[in-house]
Amino acid sequence: MLLPLENAISLEQVRSIDPAKLVWLGTSLVPYGGLLAANFQPGQVLMVNGATGHFGSAGVAVALVMGAVRVIAPGRSERGLNTLVNQFGERVRPVLLSGDEAIDGNRIAEASEGPIDCMLDSAHRPHPQRCIIDFIRNNDEEMNTHPHLEETQQVGAVLYACLVAV
């Protein structure tokens, strides 16, 4: 392969890094881009819909590195949620989803301990679960807007950053 010398970088220094960690960097860029687009800031509370999935778990990790005070992690896999808490600590607040919107809404409210500032959706569904939207609307303090998101995606105090759009 031919390329300009100024674009060529020796990879000798990364030989000591575990290849699995290097591959994980690419996965981490997807939620990082979503959080940047949502203007996520240190000290905020994030909810990652689909937190036990490939991009969702990366979103949890990236949010914590970016200074999230809490990451609400709803998911259907108890084992996956336990892994997140064991890996990342007490700032991850797992919410085991039951499928019952009232129960799930109460569990999310309990885990969040207050308003949620941003939501990262990696669940690959057209819309987040109704209980999540209802919870966000019930805790609305002010309307956040972002020029790259449609008005229908702006829900109360939560800036809904959809990974699919990033």
Residue appearing with tokens 């809904």: 160
Q: What are phi and psi of 15, to 5 degrees?
A: -60, -30
Q: In this predicted model, what pLDDT tens digit does every residue of 35-90 receive, in sequence order?
A: 988 889 999 999 998 899 888 999 999 999 999 999 999 988 999 999 999 999 99
Range among 64-73, 132-141, 142-151 rated most confident: 64-73
Note whether residue 54 is domain-resident: yes
Q: Six-digit token pair at 3?
A: 């390329």
Residue type, 45: V
147, 80 in Cβ contact below 8 A?
A: no
Which range marks the domain in which residue 103 is found?
31-165
C-beta of residue 13 within 8 angstroms of C-beta of residue 90: no
CATH of the domain at 93: 3.40.50.720
Quick one: tokens of 1?
A: 């392969």
Query: Residue 22: inside a domain, yes or no?
Result: no
- Within a domain: 67: yes
On whether residue 20 sits in a domain, the answer given is no
Domain count, the chain: 1
Q: What is the pLDDT of residues 16-43, one digit of tens each?
A: 878 887 788 888 888 998 898 888 999 9
Coil vs helix vs strand at 117: coil
The answer to whether residues 73 and 63 touch, using CB atoms and an 8 Å cutoff, is: no
